[in-house]
Chains A and B, each alone.
Chain A
């Protein structure tokens, strides 16, 4: 593991995620059990990071929540069309960037790292994601699951759902 990062605590994960959703998207965030059902996972966002902290952050988002987040973030009012898929992907990538960077900044404020360009892909219904190793949260219109994996620790996530 990187010298500058001892671990990402569940508290830092929840705090970072809550800050991002409440401040930038005006969403409340509630922790849910890791074995709770995850209804219609639709998008996977992946954000790599390098430097004193190296690894990646991933988010899984339901379709309904993703569309609502994009609409609010871009300032679409009720009369405007909901954002198309490209706009939703742009917002989800920015969401991933913020969640990853903010949680790392909370957990390792003395480290120097670089956030890599995010990517977003659609998830098949039988993808198996998220599994029980992800931390899961209930938002207003759907769910989000998050994990951060440090590359030097192999592929096992350091975080467990709370």
Chain B
């Protein structure tokens, strides 16, 4: 996190339309954003994170190459990334999927469809928990 409490964010989603939508919603939500970065799947995200850290990761579940579950497990197990909170953004909001992602180490879960207010509230909840 930088000195002005802006959060550098990594958006992980294979859909370019969804990445653009999340970026736009973040910008209008009022959440304190620093740099917004994007990755197209879990593997692409891990490569990015090996070069530079972020304050918060937003990830989809169903992605080619490396999906959200494997990505979540890798982030939670590697020393350089395990402290980064991960919020899942997925159309799959079943109890089973939510439970699996939280068990793997996700800090939050936002089900699609979502409003800017819902996204902001969940991200602020997650980041507030980190500051404790």
A-B interface contact total, Cβ < 8 Å = 79
B101 CB to closest chain A CB (Å) equals: 12
21 contacts between A and B (CB under 8 A): A23-B114, A73-B21, A90-B15, A94-B15, A94-B18, A94-B21, A98-B113, A100-B91, A101-B90, A101-B112, A102-B91, A102-B93, A102-B112, A105-B93, A105-B111, A110-B95, A111-B94, A112-B100, A113-B94, A116-B62, A117-B62
User: Chain A binding site: helix, strand, loop or mixed by DSSP?
Assistant: helix
Seen from chain B, the residues whose Cβ lies within 8 Å of a Cβ on chain A are 14-18, 20-21, 24, 62, 64, 90-97, 100, 111-115
Q: Are B91 and A115 within 8 A (Cβ)?
A: yes
Kindly supply a per-residue 1/0 record for chain A positions 1-37, scoring 1 wherever the CB is within 8 Å of any chain B CB and 0 otherwise.
0000000000000000001101110000000000000
In the complex, what distance in Å separates the CA atom of A101 from the CA atom of B24?
Answer: 22
Decide: A115 near B62, CB < 8 A? Known: A23-B113, A105-B94, A109-B94: yes
- Chain A interface category by residue count: 20 to 34
Q: Are B92 and A24 within 8 A (Cβ)?
A: no
Known: A91-B17, A116-B62. 13 other contacts (CB 8 A): A19-B113, A70-B17, A74-B17, A93-B15, A94-B18, A94-B21, A97-B62, A102-B111, A102-B113, A105-B111, A109-B94, A113-B94, A115-B92
A103 and chain B: residue at smallest CB distance: B91
B27 CB to closest chain A CB (Å) equals: 9
